Amino acid sequence: MKSSYKTALSRLTLVPEREFALGSDGFTGALYRPEVDEYPGKAVIMFGGSDGIYPLTRLLAEQYVARGMTILALAYWNEPGLPYAFEKVPAESVEKAALRLRGQGFEKIGLWGISMGAELALIAGSLMPELISCVTAVCPTNICGQGFVKKKGVQQLECSAFSWRGEELPWARLKASKFAILRDSLRERSVCLRSCYEDAVQNAPEEAQIKVENLGGPLLMLLPEHDAMWCSEISADKIEARLKEKGFAHPCECVRYKFASHMLVPITSRSKKMFRVEREHPDECRKSDSDAFEKTLAFWKEVWQDELPQR
C-alpha cells in the first residue's frame, strides 16, 4: 500500500481549488474544477474502494476533470480521524460533501464509486435521493456487507461495514475462509474473494439488501463479465431484477466487459497485475477501461443534457 500511495502522489498534477478537512469541514476531500466546465452547475463526488488509497482517488478524479467535470474526491476511510477498517464507516461523509457542494451553488450532484466505494455510492444514493441525482457504480454489490479489517488477510468484524446517523446499517454475513480465499485465488490466478461474498449476494436477507429503488435518479453500472475479486456480475443481476420488480422510475444501464478486471479505471497501476485478465489481455483491458471512462462521461451528458447550455 505504501508504494502505491507514493506512486499516486508522484503522479498527481492538478492543484485542487480547495481541500476539506474532517475537523473543520466534517469530511476529508479535495475539490477540482476544470478549466472549461462542460457541466455547469453539476459536480460528482468520487471515492475509491477497499485499497483505501486516497491519492489514487484524486488521481482518478484528474482524468474526469480534464474532460470538463467538477469532481470532489472524497476519503471516507483509512485517513486520519476516519475508520481504519470497514467498521461502521459513516455514510454521512457523502452527505456532508454533497451539502457543501449545494452550498457552493451546484444544483445537481452525482456519485461515482468503485468496489466498496460502489457499495457506498448505492447506499448513500438510496439514503439521500433528494441530494444525489445519479450514481455510477463500478463493480458494485447489491448488499451492505459485514465489516472487516485487512489484517493478516481479511478478518471479519461483528458489525456492519457502514453506518448512518450513528446506527450501523443492516448487514449480510460474509463467509471468509483463508483456505477458500487461497484456493480460489490459486485457481483464478488472481486475488479472489468470491467465496466470501457469493452466498451473501445470492441470499442476503431483505433488510441487508441495498434499497436501490430509492435512488433519486439514473444508475450506471460498469463491470467485468467475470469479476475475479467478488461477484459484481451476480450483484448487477440482482440490482436490475430488484429495480424492475420495484418499478424504478429512472433509467438503469449496465455495461459488462469480457476483458476487464475489478480495477476498471482509466489509470495505470501495478495493482492491476494482481488480476490474470490484466496480465494476459492488457491491451483489451485498457480498451475496456477507456470505454468505461467514455460511457461514464456520456452517462453524465445524457442525465443532465436538458439542463446543459447549448454550445
Q: DSSP 3-state assignment of 242?
A: helix
pLDDT digits (tens, 9 = 90+) for 62-112: 999 999 999 999 999 999 999 999 999 999 999 999 999 999 999 999 999
CA dist., res. 278 & res. 297, Å (int)? 23
- Burial (CB count within 10 angstroms: exposed 0-12, middle 13-18, buried 19+), residue 232: buried
pLDDT beyond 50 at 311: no
Whether residue 295 is predicted with pLDDT greater than 90 in this model: the reply is yes
Q: What pLDDT is recorded for position 3?
A: 53
Q: Which of 13-17, 80-84, 100-104, 151-155 has the lowest mean pLDDT?
A: 151-155
C-alpha 211/C-alpha 214 separation (Å) is: 6
Average confidence (pLDDT) over 140-147: 96
Q: CA 257: distance to chain centroid?
A: 17
DSSP state of 184: H
pLDDT of residue 238: 98
Span 177-194, pLDDT tens digits: 777 888 888 888 888 888
pLDDT band at 195 (very low <50, low <70, confident <90, very high): confident
Q: How far apart (Å, rounded) are the C-alpha atoms in residues 290 and 266?
A: 6
Q: Is 59 exposed, middle or buried (0-12, 13-18, 19+ CB in 10 A)?
A: buried
Q: What is the pTM of this model?
A: 0.93
Instruction: Between 1 and 307, name the one with better pLDDT.
Output: 307
Tell me the three state secondary structure of residue 275: coil
pLDDT tens per residue, range 110-133: 999 999 999 999 999 999 999 999
Q: Is 181 helix (H, G, I), strand (E, B) or coil?
A: helix
- Among 212, 224, 219, smallest CA distance to 299 is for 219
Query: Are the CB atoms for 230 and 194 separated by under 8 Å?
Result: yes
Domain 2-307 matching CATH 3.40.640.10: the answer reads no
Q: Quick check: 1 pLDDT over 50?
A: no
**What does the pLDDT average to over 32-48?**
96
Cell of 195: 467465496
Q: Flag whether pLDDT at 33 surpasses 60.
A: yes
Residue/partner pairs of 64-68 with CB below 8 Å, 24 or more apart: 64/112, 64/293, 64/296, 64/297, 65/14, 65/32, 65/33, 65/34, 66/34, 67/34, 67/38, 67/297, 68/34, 68/36, 68/37, 68/38, 68/39
- Strand ranges across the sheet with 89-90: 89-90, 162-164, 167-168
Mean pLDDT of the chain: 92
Count Cα atoms within 13 angstroms, Cβ side, for 136.
28
